Structure 1
Amino acid sequence: MPRGENIVTTQHIGPSGTGHQNHHSGQGTQIVTGGGNVKISIKHSGSDNKYDEASRVHILKTLYAVEYPERKDRNDNRIPGTCEWFKNHHHFKQWRESDYSSMLWVSADPGCGKSVLAKYLADGLETNEGRRPCYFFFKDDYEDQRSAKNALRCLLYQLFEQNGNLLSDKIIKLFKTYEKPLAASPYELGELWSILVLAAQGEDSGETICILDALDECRDNERHSLAKLICEFYGPNNDTKKRVNLKFLITSRPYDKIKRDFESALDADRLSVIHLKGEGDKEAQMIAKEIDIFIENRVSHIQTNLSLTHLEQQQLLRRLRAVPNRTYLWVCLTLKWIDAARYKFSQADIRKMISNLPQSVDEAYQKILANSTDETQTKKLLHIIVAAERPLTVAEIGLMMAMRQQIKCYETLDHRPDERVKQDIRDICGLFVTIYDEKVYLLHQTAKEFLVPGHNTGVQAKQSSQLTWKSSLLPSHSHRIICEICVWHLLFTKFETQPLAGEAIVADYLRDNLFLEYSAKNWATHFHASDIKESEFIQSLRQICDVTSNRCLTWLKVYWADMQTEIPLHFTTLMIASYFGLKEIVKSELGLRDISIDAVDYRYQRSALSWASENGFDSIVELLIRGPNTSFWNYVKWPFSKGAKIDARDIYGRTPLSYACLNGYLPVVQKLVEAGASVTSTDKIHGTPISYALCTGHTEIVDELSKGTRADSRDDIRRELLLSAIKHDDKLIVKRLIDSGANIEVVDSYNATPLHYAVKYENMSITRLLLLSGANTEAADTENMTPLYSAINNGSLKIAQLLLENGANIEVVGMSKRY
């Protein structure tokens, strides 16, 4: 058949199930079922453009992981005349001018300008038909910007945006195979890397340049995995790199952990390295010259503000240049400190400051903070910024700074317009913080390392007694401050009198209630990271966990809004305290005479023990196993009191042990087993605790529970669980198994695959999940029946259409011996 010719196949299935096929040329595929009463049409072609625009748009939307241009632009622009020595460095020129795949690692100490350089290169590399630069800037203050997966997603997005032809049918099919619809990150790191390499091999891909800044701020496990993929690609045994011009430029601090990641490449001399501090006298002189250019530029900008005479300006320049080991960051901090002082000091005082410049970045930070107008407020604000789960907006900062325990409504808050809050921030923190896109950040990553003890992963310098701000913010106290603010906020009267009720849209409610989303989702995280003794905060915690109040139900709905499951109905206070790990409240609830320790919610029929086990709170599990307080008098009142049912089952038939195994909490598993929990209990899909530990990769729990079990039985467990989960429409477990590497081509005694099962039970969502994971559409069972034939034979028209859209071959559906 000629390439590109369209085929229309008509499959007639009569009432008795018999059928025949007709083939003819046309514009699509038509399947007529049920004696001709129902028909569906599916367009497909042998051409290279069989995927529609909707698929491409969906992929691009999925790849746009973070606001990567805005995150890049948080960094300063380079001063003209700087970065020139780097551009002329022989390693960079060799990397830049080569017509083969290569990598360059730029090693930079804090404050040496690596992010400014990376931004300059990202903005300055011209995009044309032969060159496509992409970039990603890792950053510690955004959780999503610490992800290597997100980095590769953004690189691919930029690549396809610059040249749509690179998003070929082959790559689209790979995306469809890899996509995990329920996952926060829909693609795995290795999958994204494979697509990047494949895209870079496209016929018109040309030179693909990828700039990754601050790799040391990437999460350790993902950074290590990404470095391994990069080293394998540039390794001597990989022939692919010879067929592609894929270049990486990576900046990071010169940490040993980064060097270890690239060790294999370094040992084989396949990795070029440039240190921004310079390695020789000539380089050091060139860098010093560029920093002098930077100094002259910055001094000229503040000369007018300081009303400096020519003589004073020259004195300032000499003083700045005289400091050894100066960096761009040190210059910035020092001049900002002097510039800010013009509002507070006389000209004579400024001249005195010029003669007493800070000699290090730490000294500069100390001097900036020493100028604070209110040390107490400054510390509170810095505690909030360093411990927040995400960057906070100016409006949120304003509310948090004004919050007090006695405040019970928005109206009594000392509400200030955002512009006034910004001014307050500048007054109390000076230049230590910066505001970008209405969000508040520390001036630099080193600022957090200066303030928080033990935060820096590098070598800590010996602390001077004069550096009173250094290491002054204990993390536990920072979390205490935010936790208190969150809980006080959740106790607002409005959430009781005007709750989020009925079918109200959470997003609309949040727009009218500043900070509610943050406080509802993060109070418990801050509580467990704080130095708060639960007993000293018990009254407030008891109020927000009181299920008879509207405020409790309001924040709980906000908390659950982003979950992939529906919110439980009729939670008890004991369940909430168990879910969030509140030991004192659990104790208190267990002391109530009418406590129902085995009560279950109405949606999932899960007990307090089940929720505590799922979230890994082993101390709560121990309390619940022990049961209500059993002093002598309590024993008289409750002669039959006992602990929670160890093997209580929910609507899925799962026990607390199953959930502990599913999420990998070994201490909880051990406590439950010691209390007599059944390790062989099966749920509705015949899953066991061992099955769930196995399917999520928690081998230490598998070893704990399967002592005496033959090792070769584990594959059987996984296979049986997968097929059973499909049969019982348990998508959660199917997805967990696939994500953990389960073989989706396993077969039963009739040679039926998981895809056969999904089609047989007419499960559209699991069929789609299996197809996206690469399930073989042409697999035939012992009677030569393919999944497509089964779908047509059963009258499952939508599933048949889905199979055809994912490459099922219509020409083999008539092979069944049955007909």
Structure 2
Amino acid sequence: MFKRLKGKISRRQAGSKESDTPPIHDTGTTEPRPEKFGLFFVAGNQPDSSSSKLYSVDIIAIHGLNGDAFNTWRHSNGTFWLRDLLPSFLPGCRIYTYGYPSKIFSETSFARMQEYSRGLLSSIRDLHEDSSTALVFAHEDDNFYGEVLKSVIGVAFLGTPHRGSESAKLGSTLATIINICTKTSTAGMRPRAVRNDLLDDLSSNSNTLQDLLLSARNRLRNLTVVSFYETEATPPLSSLVVGRESSILGIPNEDVTPLYENHKTICRFAGETSSYMSVARALRRIACKLPDDGQELKRANTRSSDRSLNDVEMTCMKLFNIFDVAEYKGLLPKPIPGSCQWIRDHPFFVTWLEKTESALLWLTGHPGCGKTMLSFTLEQYFEEIRTTSTPQTVLIYFCDDKVSRQKDAKAIIISLIFQMIQRHRSMIRHVRRIFELQGPSMIESFSSLWSIFLKIAKDPKLGSLYIILDALDECENVTRRQLLESISEMLVDSAHSTRSGNGVKFLVTSRPFLRQSYITDKAPQPHISIDEGQAGYVADLRSFIQRRVDQISLKHDYPSDVRDFLLQTMYSKADHTFLWVHVVLASVETSLLTAMKDFRDIVTRIPPDLKDTYMRYMSDIPSDHLEDASHLLKLLLASSRPLHLDEINTAFTTHSSHSTTEDVVRDSQTAIAHTLQGILGPLPMPACNICSSMISTMISFRPRTHLPIQFFGISDLNDELPLGHFADDSGDENDYTLNADVLFREPDALNSDVCRRFVLKYGFYSYASLHWAEHFAICEESASDALRKSAMSLLSVKNESCRNWFHFYCTESDTSMDTNSLDQEPIVLAARFNLHRTLKDMLNSYESSQAILNQSLLWTSRLGHGRIVAELLTAGSDPNMRGSDRQTALTAAAEHGHLSCVVTILADKRTDINTTGRMGRSGLSFACGNGHDRIVTEFLRQDSCKVDAADDSGATPFFWAVGGGHYSIISALAKQASVDVNHQDKKGRTVVSWAAGDGMCEVLQRLSKLPGIDFNKNDNNGKSPVSWAAGNGHDSVVDFLVQHKKVDKASVDKDLRNAISWASEFGHLNALRILLKNGCPGVDTEDIDGWTPLAWAIQNNAPGVIQALLSTGSVHLERQDRGGRTALSWAVEYGHASVVKVLLQEGADPEAKSNRGTTPISIAREFGRDDILKELLENSPDETGIET
């Protein structure tokens, strides 16, 4: 080998000098340049208008040892992939290549790696003035410092020897011999020396690379890093130039990928080979990290309310954004200025407001007394009393039993969580953690949602929480009970807790019956009855009366005596509700008779009871309008959400005689508000405030037989929908109709913009598309054969009308829907939309394939349609078949909390209770993770259930129960003889390890009571639970663990790191103080890399942690690492001025020399840090080094 290398070197010296200038290319890019070094523009693809996505990034290629800015990336066939292939793969990007003196044979260059790095940084800074984001990849050498990190989003390494190369080490030895030979054999000629220094730097475990590798841990932490390693030997060598171990940084989230290339071909591609595609796709993944708007990419501040969100976090935000509180508040009538002030001085309210611990105040009142207005006003008041010195967050939720999404306690918690995240985006981490465990099904689990709520509510960044829950009596009973019990438990825990924390102030409004059913001895709460003897309430009612009477008198020009009569008459009834007053004055306002006796009769004959009042108005409706009134009231009752006036108009007008939308428009009311007022009087406005049961006593609801189809105006749309394609830029954008494929610009690409335009043109189309199946499911048993036939036609994707509404549904509905259902039989949609009778008709009419039956079962199990599940199982659906998401009917039903479906599926003898779904998890695992207690109980009743079965990650159901913080399930599982509470997953972690790492202090307290639980079991890397807690900064967990008698406070992992080391690395000062206070050892112990806790703290720029460590008196400040460098030396290179100052104050030596002779002062000069240099020189015992 020595002979071959010497011969190669001799030939290189004897040969003519190769040109480093790339050849001319006809694209106009990469023109010939006389320079060899610097940043060169390679290509800037000008994407055409058809490009679906643009990547506004700059890609900078950096060669390695003995490389070249151009030839390193050029294949022997001439393909320069940076120019010829990559621009079209990443349209919109700009590509550069960087050259520096890296030749082994050099006549003049003696620059070192640091100089090359500074040259690169300077070039990137210059480039940054014109471009906001850089994506960098390298072949063998790369280094990042300072402000450049703010614009770099990722790095791709191609065979880069982070830990050096044995080939370079051997080459350095041979080069020394060759240099001696060439100096004696080239008399009279200038020798071309071999660069021993570069080969030394790249030799295995060299000091230079060791320094770079250690510093890279922190610098690359927030970037996307992809490392490719070679798998083939490079001829004539028989081994790898850079092995896998050296090619990998070993940092979290590093994407490691093998390329079946050698060290020479790993960066040269003949074309779109598999290796090229691997690299190109990796670059695309990094480029996708760029925000869509192309704005400047900034380092995320986790404490900022405008923190940027990643893809998973954006998905979480969309998942939780189900109710627009601001929009709902905008629909509410505004309170009279100055009203609702009385409650601020009420002693119960003042006491509640002044409490430091969590507390609840209950406001009750009968329907129509103004509870919602009071809630609205109090929210504004809480916002007004906010101070900058005392952080606090105000949340509000309006329950509404007329809106399906606003009458479930899970929806309440979802909205509260979303509001908190909107104000403090860093709180998204609590949601993300559960989402990564459970996926979208998390929002269907009350316990999971409550766990997230508690996590966020206890975060000190939020400060105090004020939570207003309005009209809680309109929430459905089951989840409402769960919510009230959870709040009660929270209040009890807060009252008994000795730890300081955020106070959560709940203010609940409801009708009196709800509070009476909730009264408990556990946590008795103060109560204010709004409409029973409150002087302030009466004053507000009198103000409302005066305002309305003034308006009516002015409108009709009543004389002052009539006005005064109305005022006095209404004042005498001031013990009634706002709603009653509104109804009476509305009757006065519309009365054709205006004598005082007429007004007196109106006031007298309207009953004080609301039900009697409405019955009174119903009896006054003229006989010729009774049918219309009944129809309107049915619409108000039957609608899935409050209808807008134009929707009421369409629904009220649509009749079986109408065949087109034009027919409906022609017959619509021209002034629907006037029509409503004329027929129903004052009924429509407050209708939403009356419970459904009350309305039901007034009307007998029977949907007209044509209502579900003709009412929604969908069945006949295919008759008027000519085929065609919609284009934004051609013709009149408003001149289009609802054709079958118009919602698609191209196959499988839903067009939400077109959907919005349809809604503008067809006012009722949105409600019809989203809710027709829901309405039909209610009345399909009593529907006529013709109606059921029409419904079946709407479920056949062969029909244009079906494709129309279903495309719209998939685009506009917030319910996840697999659009592949478009390719399936109608039975799939019938099952999906819970159309039981229709499904039976389909099953009886024709034979469906096994695949269709199985897919239908999967959908309906996920959605919880119990009768449909039973029907499909009877028809032969396979309960053990896995879908495209790997879920079975049982795992899907268990995951989403559908008890009846689980019971039905388990009752089928074909069901394998232990069949696994996604991630190898069983139905029991999903039920445990999502906190579905009753389903867990059902599984545990089955003798064949494998309670302790592990999934693909090695986690058992017990793991998932602990991860979700589901205490009742944890207790139930721990009692099972087959459950190992100390089971380790594939990472070697136990439930104690995971709970400690996730900061679940309450869970750990409960786990500590389980017999046989081990709090010291280390994971595969030797990391203990207390180290996990310390490294993640969970102060309360660290405090609990170090005081636990059975916890080993001195444990170290396989890298010889202890809890103090982990707390120091991430700057967790409070956790560190707790460890030091409780006598945890290892404050100055070296880990496997020779780093002490002080070194880790310096890297993370944590001056507080450094002071805490040094205050122990046990830290050797001048300790040298394996490169002879001190803590101060590293602090200077990192540029952490505040850390430098702390170290100097503690007596650190600014002139301590490393093994290479560098000092903190010389490093500061080298990197141009004049501010740090000044601080060092002022603390130097010998200031002779001061430059003049």
After TM superposition, is the score higher than 0.5? yes
Partner secondary structure for residue 106 of structure 1: strand
Partner secondary structure for residue 507 of structure 2: strand
Which amino acid letter does the alignment assign opposite residue 214 of structure 2?
Answer: H
Corresponding residue for 1:460? none
For the residues of structure 2 that align with 1:301 and 1:16, how far apart are their CA atoms? Answer: 93
Partner secondary structure for residue 111 of structure 1: coil
Tell me the CA shift for residue 339 of structure 1.
0.8
Corresponding residue for 1:526? 775
Tell me the CA shift for residue 101 of structure 1.
5.4
Q: Of the candidates 375, 381, 398, which is equivalent to residue 118 of structure 1?
A: 375
Q: Of the candidates 617, 629, 635, which is equivalent to residue 378 of structure 1?
A: 629
1:296·1:317 contact (CA, 8 Å) conserved in 2?
yes
For the residues of structure 2 that align with 1:387 and 1:698, how far apart are their CA atoms? Answer: 31
For the residues of structure 1 that align with 2:844 and 2:713, how far apart are their CA atoms? Answer: 26
Corresponding residue for 2:750? 505
Quick one: structure 1 residues 420 and 14, their matched pair in 2 at CA, closer, same or farther if it must change by over 3 Å?
farther
For the residues of structure 2 that align with 1:473 and 1:51, how far apart are their CA atoms? Answer: 52
2:549·2:585 contact (CA, 8 Å) conserved in 1?
yes
Tell me the CA shift for residue 16 of structure 1.
10
Tell me the CA shift for residue 135 of structure 1.
3.9
For the residues of structure 2 that align with 1:567 and 1:781, how far apart are their CA atoms? Answer: 43
Q: Of the candidates 451, 473, 482, which is equivalent to residue 216 of structure 1?
A: 473
Partner secondary structure for residue 452 of structure 1: helix
- Which has the larger displacement, 326-335 or 560-569? 560-569
Corresponding residue for 1:637? none
Given the alignment of the two structures, is residue 360 of structure 1 paired with residue 609 of structure 2, yes or no?
Answer: yes
Partner secondary structure for residue 690 of structure 2: helix
2:491·2:523 contact (CA, 8 Å) conserved in 1?
no
Partner secondary structure for residue 263 of structure 1: coil
Corresponding residue for 1:422? 673
For the residues of structure 2 that align with 1:80 and 1:365, how far apart are their CA atoms? Answer: 29
Identity within the alignment, %:
19
Quick one: structure 1 residues 433 and 11, their matched pair in 2 at CA, closer, same or farther if it must change by over 3 Å?
farther
For the residues of structure 2 that align with 1:684 and 1:286, how far apart are their CA atoms? Answer: 60
Quick one: structure 1 residues 220 and 197, their matched pair in 2 at CA, closer, same or farther if it must change by over 3 Å?
farther
Q: Of the candidates 519, 526, 536, which is equivalent to residue 272 of structure 1?
A: 526
For the residues of structure 2 that align with 1:308 and 1:704, how far apart are their CA atoms? Answer: 71
Residue deviations 1:377-426, cap 9 Å, x none? 22222212222222223332222222223433322222589973333333
Given the alignment of the two structures, is residue 12 of structure 1 paired with residue 167 of structure 2, yes or no?
Answer: no
Partner secondary structure for residue 588 of structure 2: helix
Corresponding residue for 1:572? 825
Quick one: structure 1 residues 371 and 701, their matched pair in 2 at CA, closer, same or farther if it must change by over 3 Å?
same
For the residues of structure 1 that align with 2:863 and 2:425, how far apart are their CA atoms? Answer: 43
Corresponding residue for 1:803? none
Quick one: structure 1 residues 445 and 772, their matched pair in 2 at CA, closer, same or farther if it must change by over 3 Å?
farther
1:112·1:328 contact (CA, 8 Å) conserved in 2?
yes
Corresponding residue for 2:718? 493
Corresponding residue for 1:67? 324
Quick one: structure 1 residues 104 and 621, their matched pair in 2 at CA, closer, same or farther if it must change by over 3 Å?
closer
Corresponding residue for 1:553? 803
Quick one: structure 1 residues 478 and 240, their matched pair in 2 at CA, closer, same or farther if it must change by over 3 Å?
farther
Corresponding residue for 1:23? 214
Residue deviations 1:315-374, cap 9 Å, x none? 4344434448412221111111221224x8888755643554443333433455556573
Which amino acid letter does the alignment assign opposite residue 468 of structure 2?
Answer: I
TM-score normalised per structure 2 = 0.50
Tell me the CA shift for residue 275 of structure 1.
1.2
Q: Of the candidates 690, 711, 714, which is equivalent to residue 446 of structure 1?
A: 690
1:661·1:693 contact (CA, 8 Å) conserved in 2?
yes
Tell me the CA shift for residue 249 of structure 1.
3.0
Which amino acid letter does the alignment assign opposite residue 95 of structure 1?
Answer: W
Partner secondary structure for residue 335 of structure 1: helix
Higher Rg of the two aligned structures: 2
For the residues of structure 2 that align with 1:624 and 1:233, how far apart are their CA atoms? Answer: 43
Corresponding residue for 1:468? none
Equivalent residue runs for 1:321-340 within 5 Å: 321-323=571-573, 325-340=575-590
1:577·1:585 contact (CA, 8 Å) conserved in 2?
yes
Tell me the CA shift for residue 682 of structure 1.
3.4
Quick one: structure 1 residues 698 and 394, their matched pair in 2 at CA, closer, same or farther if it must change by over 3 Å?
same
Partner secondary structure for residue 296 of structure 1: helix
Tell me the CA shift for residue 177 of structure 1.
3.1
1:491·1:543 contact (CA, 8 Å) conserved in 2?
no
Given the alignment of the two structures, is residue 606 of structure 1 paired with residue 854 of structure 2, yes or no?
Answer: yes
1:614·1:660 contact (CA, 8 Å) conserved in 2?
yes
Given the alignment of the two structures, is residue 138 of structure 1 paired with residue 398 of structure 2, yes or no?
Answer: yes
For the residues of structure 1 that align with 2:638 and 2:614, how far apart are their CA atoms? Answer: 19
Partner secondary structure for residue 251 of structure 1: strand
- Which has the larger displacement, 382-391 or 235-244? 235-244
Which amino acid letter does the alignment assign opposite residue 912 of structure 2?
Answer: V
1:106·1:273 contact (CA, 8 Å) conserved in 2?
yes
For the residues of structure 2 that align with 1:230 and 1:473, how far apart are their CA atoms? Answer: 39
Tell me the CA shift for residue 678 of structure 1.
3.4
Quick one: structure 1 residues 250 and 699, their matched pair in 2 at CA, closer, same or farther if it must change by over 3 Å?
closer
Quick one: structure 1 residues 247 and 366, their matched pair in 2 at CA, closer, same or farther if it must change by over 3 Å?
same
Corresponding residue for 1:252? 510
Quick one: structure 1 residues 110 and 646, their matched pair in 2 at CA, closer, same or farther if it must change by over 3 Å?
closer
Given the alignment of the two structures, is residue 95 of structure 1 paired with residue 341 of structure 2, yes or no?
Answer: no
For the residues of structure 1 that align with 2:905 and 2:420, how far apart are their CA atoms? Answer: 51
For the residues of structure 1 that align with 2:937 and 2:337, how far apart are their CA atoms? Answer: 61
Tell me the CA shift for residue 549 of structure 1.
1.8
For the residues of structure 1 that align with 2:909 and 2:758, how far apart are their CA atoms? Answer: 50
For the residues of structure 1 that align with 2:387 and 2:804, how far apart are their CA atoms? Answer: 53
Query: Between Structure 1 and Structure 2, how many residues are aligned?
Result: 702
Quick one: structure 1 residues 651 and 176, their matched pair in 2 at CA, closer, same or farther if it must change by over 3 Å?
closer
1:696·1:740 contact (CA, 8 Å) conserved in 2?
no
Q: Which runs of 5+ in 2 are unaligned?
A: 1-145, 150-154, 168-203, 230-241, 248-266, 268-278, 290-296, 723-738, 971-979, 1005-1015, 1025-1064, 1069-1085, 1091-1188
Equivalent residue runs for 1:403-482 within 5 Å: 403-415=654-666, 420-434=671-685, 442-446=686-690, 448=692, 450-453=694-697, 471-474=698-701, 477=702
Tell me the CA shift for residue 518 of structure 1.
2.7
- Which has the larger displacement, 47-56 or 375-384? 47-56
Corresponding residue for 1:709? 943
Equivalent residue runs for 1:607-622 within 5 Å: 607-608=855-856, 611=859
Which amino acid letter does the alignment assign opposite residue 606 of structure 1?
Answer: N
Q: Which runs of 5+ in 1 are unaligned?
A: 435-441, 454-470, 628-642, 727-733, 756-766, 787-805
For the residues of structure 1 that align with 2:985 and 2:690, how far apart are their CA atoms? Answer: 61
2:442·2:930 contact (CA, 8 Å) conserved in 1?
no
2:407·2:476 contact (CA, 8 Å) conserved in 1?
yes
Which amino acid letter does the alignment assign opposite residue 671 of structure 2?
Answer: R
For the residues of structure 1 that align with 2:638 and 2:690, how far apart are their CA atoms? Answer: 15
Tell me the CA shift for residue 587 of structure 1.
4.5
For the residues of structure 2 that align with 1:149 and 1:666, how far apart are their CA atoms? Answer: 17
- Which has the larger displacement, 26-35 or 505-514? 26-35
Corresponding residue for 2:1082? none
Equivalent residue runs for 1:732-747 within 5 Å: none
1:693·1:702 contact (CA, 8 Å) conserved in 2?
yes
Given the alignment of the two structures, is residue 197 of structure 1 paired with residue 491 of structure 2, yes or no?
Answer: no
Higher relative contact order, chain-length normalized (CA < 8 Å, sep 6+): 1
Corresponding residue for 1:794? none
Q: Of the candidates 547, 554, 562, which is equivalent to residue 297 of structure 1?
A: 547
For the residues of structure 2 that align with 1:112 and 1:240, how far apart are their CA atoms? Answer: 40
For the residues of structure 2 that align with 1:134 and 1:265, how far apart are their CA atoms? Answer: 26
2:357·2:503 contact (CA, 8 Å) conserved in 1?
yes
- Which has the larger displacement, 356-365 or 605-614? 605-614
